[in-house]
Amino acid sequence: MGEDAELVPVEIVGVRQHLADEEIVVLLLDPDSELLVPILIGAAEASAIASAQAGIVPPRPMTHDLLRDVLIAVGSGLTRVEITRLEDGVFHAALVLRTGPRVDSRASDAIAMALRFGCPVLCSAEVVAVAGVEVRTTTSEQDLERFRRFLDAVTPEDFTTGVEPDDQGGPEGR
């Protein structure tokens, strides 16, 4: 998978741990294709991603915070993060600096940096196609969506029965 591939924007869904085998993944969602890309990550990177998503600011800078501060101090920043390829089960990424250079990175570190800079994460469309899994909506989500469509289309006249509430024949109407 080459680095000149088409890139698509992805959303960082969050970090999840599989309890049975204790593997940790960060989940990226391509909303257009509705594919979820799970990337296996380490505990330190998971913590860095989760704390940034939660808006937790450590009392002293952690590694990703330190790198952010150094980039800002030298007059740069992060324009975007690119997940460029998948080789032998390893995701490769690049930090695209505001001053122009691209810096090779592990995908997990790149995602942690993107969260700290509030910049977009782009993923190779080929990586999404190969590693992505279909997002399935649950029955309750489908029911909720069907109910929302109903509410969008319903009018007050749809509830007119011709019978006033006092005429229902219940204890109050007798």
For residue range 87-131, what is the model confidence (pLDDT) as tens digits? Answer: 999 999 999 999 999 999 999 999 999 999 999 999 999 999 999
Task: Read off the pLDDT of each residue in 67-76 and give the average, rounded to a whole number.
Answer: 96
- Residue 86's closest CA among 42, 126, 50, 122? 126
Q: Could you give the residue ranges of the DSSP H alpha helices within the chain?
A: 43-54, 63-73, 107-117, 125-131, 139-153
Decide if 58 contacts 68 (C-beta within 8 A).
no
Give the three-state DSSP class for 93.
strand
Q: What is the pTM of this model?
A: 0.76
Compute and round to an integer the Cα radius of gyration of the chain.
24
- pLDDT at residue 86, as a whole number: 97
For the segment 26-50, the average pLDDT, to the nearest whole number, is 95
What kind of fold does domain 7-63+70-152 have according to CATH?
Bifunctional nuclease domain (3.10.690)
What's the confidence (pLDDT) of residue 21? 81
Check residue 120 and give its pLDDT.
Answer: 98
